[in-house]
Structure 1
Amino acid sequence: MAYADQKMSSNKIVALVIVALIHVFVGYALVTGLAYEAAKKVISKVTTVDIKEEKPKEEEPPPPPPKEDVPPPPIVAPPPPININPAPPPVQTVNIAPPAPPPIAVPVAVAPPAPPPPPAPSKARGASVKGGWTSRFNQEYPARALRDEKEGRVGVRVGIGPDGKVTSCSVTSSSGTPDLDQAACAGMARFGRFNPAVDSAGNPTSDSYSTTIVYKLS
């Protein structure tokens, strides 16, 4: 029984609390709703103000300016007529003398140059044999060739100085016997005497002379 009473008392308390909350909610809703309506009416009164726009007064037009005495425009004279075809300038004639004829070249006879003088006769000449010394070769017959009875012809070429003496000798044609060849050049150096060669001015100069020495037993 105590438990049942206790449960019923708690249910009453809960019911009372719920009823109280409902009353509070309803009162809050009423209070806020009334306040909202009152505020809405105040705002509508404040914002809805009739403003009457005044029309601007029309300004009267200004009076016209007084008329001034304007002088009449000046009279402009028309420009003088212009002569489009002016008279041509006078033409001056100038007499120009004809050009002088070019000078005529007259051929002038030119004497031919004098022929050069003939050259002076040349005094040049070659060396020549002086005296009869060629016969002495048989007197100087080589002893071996004489003993062997050798004969022959030896061609020699000798160089001659400005003094007419033999300066060199060479065998141009051998006899076939060496003793005779050697004797020919030795005899030319020993016995040979020449008139020296001279140049075109007549001065002695070097030259050469070719001859043949004949060795023959009598």
Structure 2
Amino acid sequence: MQLRFFSHAAIKRGNDILLKRRSARVACIGIVRFVPAAFLPARAVRHSRGEHAMAYLTPDTNRRRIATLGAVGAVHGVMAVVLLSGFAGGIIKEFKRQALPAWTYMPPPPPPAPAPEPKPSARPSLTVPRPDPFVPLPPMPGPGLPIDTGPLVPVGSGLGGDLLPPLPPPSPSSSSSGPSFTPRAAQPLGAPGTWVSDADYPAAALRRGDQGATRFELSISPDGRVRDCRIAQSSRSADLDAATCARLSQRARFTPARDEHGDLVAGRYSGVIRWRIPE
């Protein structure tokens, strides 16, 4: 016996025909159309062609039909197993869990701090040396500390002292132009001996026992005040020299000098102060 295999579409059509024709009258005809001719005896084939139709309905026909249906079902099962085991093997793959690589989050570095602004350079402070503040000493026995100011006389003659050129003698032509004025040097107001007193003796010089004579030269402004003080000869004590200029610049006042026209002009004055500690 030769086996024939039909496609799924043919099998489906045969099943549809079998379901539609359920009556006993046409059951044999439906089975003949559904089952291939190779599985049927020659009588059934002839019956399907219209030959000896009544001879098909025999007990052997039912057994053949059951065997045919079983073979078809077995073929379907084998095909299903082949499809599931063969084709699915290349599609479905085993899923393997893979561990993700570990990583650590690093925050971005903070921005660099702004550079500090350069501070303006402080101006150098000019420190003017000051004489030691006066510290009153306890009263000493005996007479007070004498300070010999010496003779206070202007240096040279004429306006401005030694640093100014001498005035030329008046010419005869100048007398005809108008009355002339005799130049006059700056003169001290009051007693020059009151400009420095015993209380002005520097405490540091007194403790060290410094004494001596300080010769000075003063520059007098047209208003009669001391403009500048210069030490012409030192007493070999910086404290005594500084005290001399400090007291004279503060206390000395003068009658301003005048020129040949009678105008107030600058002048000069010089003198000496003798600093002595009493025995």
Bigger radius of gyration, 1 or 2?
1
TM-score by shorter chain over 0.5: no
What range describes the TM-score normalised by the shorter chain of this pair? 0.3 to 0.5
Q: Report the TM-score when normalising by structure 1.
A: 0.44
Query: TM-score scaled to structure 2, two decimals?
Result: 0.35
